[in-house]
Structure 1
Amino acid sequence: MENKKMNIYEKLLKVQMELKAPKGQYNNFGKYKYRSCEDILESVKPILQKNKLSMQMSDELVQVGDRYYIKATATLLDIEDNSTMSNTAYAREDFDKKGMDGSQITGTASSYARKYALNGLFLIDDTKDADTNEYRNEVEDTEHLMLINQFNELAEETNLNRDALYKKLGVSSNAEIGNDKLKELIETMKKKLGGK
């Protein structure tokens, strides 16, 4: 009986079916578990080896308008026939990440982009059940991040003295300001800009 070699698509399907990537990290602020890029890599490496596959990850800095994104590519290589398959994902570098230097900001964006490139390649679902506290916390965190980004953009446009505002509010950064207060500040800045 002839033993037929699997092609890269068949091998990828086997990896996708076998891969169990646990959520090995915990976010104390949001009170939820999540998986990191490293968690995925640790889980997938033995399965890749068993299926005669190798993987390479690469990053590229891409500018879109005035924003910088990290473009991460996860490339799967079949070591038996040299065929490849890739998946790409993007993550944006944050303008103002208090307490982080430029290399840390880039590193964080790279980790997110790589994680999402791996999620796409291996069909890892990062969604939460809508009725769990974990899901609600993640939605609230996402809203908070979107409000912070909008606040930062408007603060730049209005030349807002953030340090004075933080002192007045008794906080050290915009991350400590609640969503309702952020919305109020955003509306005030929009009015200052003429209803933009």
Structure 2
Amino acid sequence: MYRKLALRNVRRQIGNYLIYFITVALTISLIFAMNNLIFNDQLQTQAQSIAELALGLVFLSIIICIIIAFVLGYANAFMLRLRKREFGTYLTVGMKRKHIVKLFLFENSLLGIFAMVVGFFMGSLFYQGLMLLMTQLLDIPFEFSMFSLKGVLLTIGMVCSIFLFSSIVSSFYLTVLLFTNSFMERRKWSRG
């Protein structure tokens, strides 16, 4: 039942989720491209002579992850505020808070998985473009580069940890939002 409701909600809120989805997919693609640059064999041999390059790429990847965590946190808070009435309706018809939180997390998981797939595809294009740029800057011949398994696994780990952090913050925020919403409704009815 919750899966059908979550899919219906995603379809109904597609305009609001589209901005969120595009943001997540672009940031995932950027992380994917950066992590594959870090573990690229051609650049690693060059980076042994330029130690700052490898350190700079790792530092840049970490900064991107921190930015993504803030963007996702802000986007989730925005989506929760936007759907406050909808969640209030769910409470009114008897849905429990924990089920509403599960519903929202399931919706975010669906979007997150789809964004990861699209992000990996777009990231592969970014990766080739960044490799072209890096090889030109380092004056080494450009070769079409395959993905690094370490880069893919690191990207999956980073994205999953960011989504886990975002889900925990969102579920806490949603619980507080639902509590305040139901408290305000009870106050309204008692004054009635």
TM-score (norm 1): 0.26
Greater share of strand: 1
TM-score (norm 2): 0.26
Greater share of helix: 2
